[in-house]
Structure 1
Amino acid sequence: MQRTPLRVAIVDDEPLARLAVCTHLARRPGFEIVAEYADGDAAAHGLALLRPDLAFVDVQMPGRSGLAALAALPRDSRPMAILLTAHEGFALQAFELAALDYLLKPIDDERLDEALERALDAFPYRRTSAAAAAAAPWLRSFSVRAGARTVLVGAAEVERIEADGDYATLHVGTRRYLVRERLHALARRLDPLQFQRVHRSSIVRLDMVAELRALTNRDALLRLRDGTLLRASRTYMPALTQALARQGQPAAALLKTG
């Protein structure tokens, strides 16, 4: 089945920079350019109206910056963002705005392709509509084997879940329970306001996240409240940072560098 193209907006005051992105996207299936903006004020207004799926945003522009244009949008209506910049050092702002990636100018084609693939991978995990969330029968408990007994483990007790082949392991304090279900199936059945997948092999309960540490490859290292360290894949970072913000834990407050 053919996937609906991601709707893309480009925000950059340099015409040649916008042209470079447009030219590259024209060679790629799966993307449709719906708007271009040359300044932050027009971008903030246009993005709010069009609500594209993905935006390329120049960090520094005359007048309102690209970061300010994104920050002016409500969190739930911000597009996935790929930041464009001539300077490194925007990791903190990138995490705070749930940016998918940031590319250094002049833009390298290979890195641009990598960012586009990340957008395609991340989009299915990015949005859960309010209507779907209200109607979904989220998993409230797990039926697991404990020796010769079958016991119920409340979902709210589970701190994290790890993939184990065709099974998954629930971590509840010092206890471990094996469930006969794949991790990707469990991820669809758990309340996204409480749990988020952070890697293809792990799901965490959001209130267990104590610290984020940015890594050089744009992944992050998570420290949980019990001291456990987990890698968070860049593919899942936008959804994770947005979910933390909804819980009142903005990623910027948790982010450590160095």
Structure 2
Amino acid sequence: MTIINTLIVDDEPAAIEGLRLRLDAFPQIRVIGEANSVAEAITLINVQMPDLIFLDIEMPEQSGFDLIRQLQPELCPAIVFVTAFHQHAVKAFEVRALDYLLKPVKMERLAEAITRVCELTTSRADKAQLLSAAADIAKEVQDAGGRVDSTKNAERVSDAAEPQYNIEMQKLVIQDGRNPIQLIPYQDIIWIDAAGDYMCVHTKVETYVMRARLKSLIDERLPDVFVRIHKSTVVNLTYVEKLQPLSNSEYKAVLVNDKVLKVSRTYAKGLKQRLLG
């Protein structure tokens, strides 16, 4: 059995401790160090030369992407990002991370990530691509006026704040642990409906199934252009063609693909206000 020397980098001690306890279940993983900042992590990497880093993205002063761009290709270990925010997933895969885990980390997903680390090796060419992409991402953040926010709640702004999404660029991350991770552009999603603990994400060409509750999806991930029209349905406003009144102050929303969705009384007024500006 090959032993994988592993470093955990996270500014939250509780997160480090929780991940370390989970990693104890995997005999092939040897945790050789912990770091609470990018500067501390660089020092440990240069001394310990780990094979794998579980890396948080949002940390004070410098982000996980900043750490990657400071590494030399020959010293760059495998990277598994661990973060509380779905919004970083696209950038994580742009920098060739082997996997992307959401906090709190589930054992099933952690096992899959470790299996992937054991099966895959990162070539020098891949490492060079990783470092180049990470540098580009860090520059984009700097050009936008600041680093990746380290407040841990910047992504969770109120509805009254300026929209946090550029819908042309953002994607919904769908992962269920067994199938490949899918990145669905928000602008391609027509509507989403709930089925218990699962969501059906409908696009023009395909319907995707993801494990999530509608409330958490609305609160944490969906751009402002998505509006709730029923307790179990949200719709992309850009695909609503017309509203047809029904009895009891309810409506039918007719979409551009001729799909008809019921609009309940609870959400009818809000939908009309959004459509009429």
TM-score band (shorter)? 0.3 to 0.5
Higher relative contact order (CA 8 A, sep 6+): 1
Q: TM-score, normalised by structure 1?
A: 0.47
Q: TM-score, normalised by structure 2?
A: 0.44
